């Protein structure tokens, strides 16, 4: 079985072409657990499967290292778009990709026949609570609860280096107020329309070097809280690299969020099916 390894801002993925349905539905969760293991498998933050779509260019499935299936993945979909273009599966510079989080449109920048940069229309954020306060160990924390295809909590902090991302992120992620769990993003303002971020991701159950949907959710939260200009690109620095967020605001509502960033092919190989 052929596999490919990619990363977007340090968020790494194993990608397999499953358009022929070689991987049965029942084994996909177990396969993700085995392949994503960093000591006994290939290692990755998720398993991406290319599958057929009845109405659009392709269908992206993503399974987390714990075997759960995620609705969407911002860094993953950029890697997915690069692969299907570079390998001639879909030779178009604009792609419509099915995900459990809805249809996403990806616009590719092509250089020397390869996709080097991808901008994704992430859709309209679903804002659940701009001032959610929940009890945590040591007191209460205020956050923004919203969804970008995936549930997120965004907490503003003064200094990222002092945040216990794993401990606090895990506690918030498992709070009963998030019935499906949530990715937990800690956001620090770094300048005009510039921020730094660290994220605890559900499914990975640890901090990751970047989270695309988390970066989009955090950019949206910054605009809604008046900390960023909706009419200018927002640069967000993750530990694995920088991603840009653009928003479309109508009156007081965000109607659209776009994410742009690079992605890189790492290596490919064969595994026993």
Provide the pairing of β-strand 183-191 with 151-156: parallel
Q: How high is the pLDDT of residue 57? A: 98
User: Which tokens in the block code for residue 264?
Assistant: 């890189």
Q: How high is the pLDDT of residue 138? A: 84
Q: How high is the pLDDT of residue 37? A: 97
Sign of CA dihedral 136, 141, 142, 143: negative
pLDDT in tens, 28-65: 999 999 999 999 999 999 999 999 999 999 999 999 99
Distance CA 131, CA 129 (A): 6
Q: Which domains does the chain have, with CATH numbers?
A: 2-121+262-270 (3.10.310.10), 126-260 (3.10.310.10)
Distance CA 23, CA 48 (A): 12
The residue ranges of the chain whose pLDDT is under 50 are none
- The pTM assigned to this predicted structure is 0.94
- Pair 172, 137: CB distance under 8 Å: no
Residues in the chain: 273
Backbone angles phi, psi at 230, to 5 degrees: -65, -20
Q: How high is the pLDDT of residue 273? A: 73
Backbone angles phi, psi at 34, to 5 degrees: -70, -45
Q: How high is the pLDDT of residue 79? A: 98
Q: How high is the pLDDT of residue 101? A: 93
> What are the respective helix, strand and coil percentages of the chain, to the nearest 5?
20, 50, 35
| Residues recognised as catalytic | 73, 211
């Amino acid at each position: 079985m052929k596999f490919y390894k990619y990363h977007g801002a340090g968020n790494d993925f194993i990608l397999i072409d499953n358009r022929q349905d070689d991987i049965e539905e029942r084994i996909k969760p177990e396969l993700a657990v085995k392949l994503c293991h960093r000591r006994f498998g290939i290692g990755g933050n998720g398993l991406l499967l290319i599958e057929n779509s009845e109405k659009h260019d392709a269908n992206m499935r993503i399974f987390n290292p714990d075997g759960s299936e995620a609705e969407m993945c911002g860094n993953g979909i950029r890697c997915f778009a690069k692969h299907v273009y570079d390998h001639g599966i879909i030779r178009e510079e604009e792609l419509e990709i099915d995900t459990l989080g809805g249809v996403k449109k990806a616009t590719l920048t092509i250089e020397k026949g390869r996709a080097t940069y991808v901008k994704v229309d992430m859709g309209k954020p679903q804002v659940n609570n701009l001032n959610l306060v929940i009890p945590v160990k040591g007191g209460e924390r205020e956050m923004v609860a919203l969804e970008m295809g995936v549930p997120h909590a965004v907490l503003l902090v003064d200094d990222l280096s002092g945040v216990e991302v794993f401990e606090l992120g895990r506690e918030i992620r498992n709070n009963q107020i998030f019935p499906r769990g949530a990715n937990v993003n800690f956001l620090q303002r770094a300048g005009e329309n510039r921020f730094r971020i660290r994220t605890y991701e559900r499914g990975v159950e640890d901090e990751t070097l970047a989270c695309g949907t988390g970066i989009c959710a955090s950019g949206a939260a910054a605009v809604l809280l008046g900390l960023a200009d909706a009419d200018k690109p927002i640069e967000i620095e993750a530990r694995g690299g920088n991603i840009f967020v653009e928003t479309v605001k109508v009156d007081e509502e965000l109607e659209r969020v776009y994410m742009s960033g690079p992605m890189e092919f790492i290596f490919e190989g064969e595994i026993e099916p």
